[in-house]
Chain A
């Protein structure tokens, strides 16, 4: 690990003042950041410890939604009575991720900012445009079983690893931040992440020193919720494909559908064309197949991840069957 300076923030305002520097990182749970610092994939000159800031509450807000403090650990969020009762997809997604120990430490804000688990991002001897911009991408011709089939560019095929963020994408969460200039921003999660394009090192729209303070969920959506995750072992593994689904039925027809996908792209993936194709139609395997074909119309495999295309098709169909049974 490279040497760094350490400062402990006693307020969010102090944290963003301390953090207003490109080589400074906030640390909360640290489960991903320290892992990467040990490998010298991350080499911040300074860490600002935000772990003791009072951002630990889950509270109901006016209009029926919920506000989640950025430091709420993943375990507590999954177990919260309101989340369990009204946002089952979020509880389920959290419980499908990592291990008990990691969920106890990992924070809500940090989970949103997890880095990819692409092997070539982790391996400092490999070329990686995300780690060293302009160096190239060894993943495309390499072992890319776990990597993306949607939203890739010639510069990067990494996936976003979070389960939690996939559920939040389906739920239309809003990310609330505090900037180093004191400005508060409310960023819909659909606008938060960026496609890799030719700058895969830039993963989201946060500015230097900007701190995630909360995540807000709108009132619980109508219908049934589920999170289906397919992975290489039964527990404690990242998704090959996952689906966060919320579907409501009225008079035998699908009246609303919110579907987000993990393991497929550089960000929690959502495609309104897929949802629109379902709405107003009676559930059937033929319809679900049509929706899957739409989702995968631009899908591109890179060899060892080609299997994700038919796997995604089957996983979406199975999820929709479950939600409409």
Chain B
């Protein structure tokens, strides 16, 4: 099977049952994406497929041979952190760190959804909702943090969102 991951071509001979998560971790040594529950309940395995966040544990690798897959390894490097990685460090948005790659990939996808104007369950209006902290909490509810670093995770995401969209930041205040 052929894959495009973080812009690089990869090849692997894998069992047809292999999930995208197991392909990344067990066959391509991309162990940034984490296996928490393996059932789509915790979000630790979140990656971006064609720019959209999904649970890599709940999809088969074979179904993603034509897709652009981005994992935490493709977002930044230790020398050049992605803005969300830098913000998670600055705001102490983790304790053990196990959920963090999923949190960050999820936040990247989530901020893109916000930019597209997608509403959420807590949006007062379906049309052009304000991006409040309640919106961050609701939109990130698919990513659990057993250390409960949630307040700092919200702060980290808030900082990056405000830097991206200064006009919207003012509106939310």
Chain A residues close to B by CB (< 8 Å): 1, 3-6, 27, 29-31, 34-35, 38, 49, 51-52, 75, 78-79, 84-85, 88, 91-92, 95-96, 98-102, 104-105, 234-236
Residue of A nearest to B59 (CB): A30
Partner of B121, one of A34, A49, A88, A235: A235
Contacts of B54 in A (CB 8 A): 101, 104-105
Partner of B63, one of A3, A30, A75: A30
Interface residues in B35-60 by Cβ distance below 8 A to A read 38-40, 43, 46, 52-55, 58-60
Contacts of A1 in B (CB 8 A): 17
Query: By the criterion CB–CB under 8 Å, are B141 and A99 in contact?
Result: yes
Beyond A30-B58, A100-B140, A102-B142, list 6 extra A-B contacts (CB 8 Å): A4-B17, A27-B63, A51-B63, A84-B119, A100-B142, A101-B109
Partner of A78, one of B43, B55, B118, B139: B118
Residue of B nearest to A235 (CB): B141
Contacts of B68 in A (CB 8 A): none
Partner of B40, one of A3, A31, A84, A85: A31
Least CB distance from A114 to B in Å reads 13
Least CB distance from A46 to B in Å reads 11
Least CB distance from A178 to B in Å reads 21
CA distance A1 to B59 in the complex (A): 13
Question: Can you offer 22 A-B residue contacts whose CB atoms are under 8 A?
Answer: A1-B17, A3-B16, A5-B16, A6-B60, A27-B63, A30-B59, A30-B63, A35-B58, A85-B126, A88-B126, A91-B119, A91-B126, A95-B120, A99-B141, A99-B142, A100-B140, A100-B142, A101-B53, A101-B55, A102-B55, A102-B142, A105-B54
Least CB distance from A21 to B in Å reads 18
Contacts of A49 in B (CB 8 A): 62-63
Contacts of B123 in A (CB 8 A): 95
Contacts of B116 in A (CB 8 A): 79
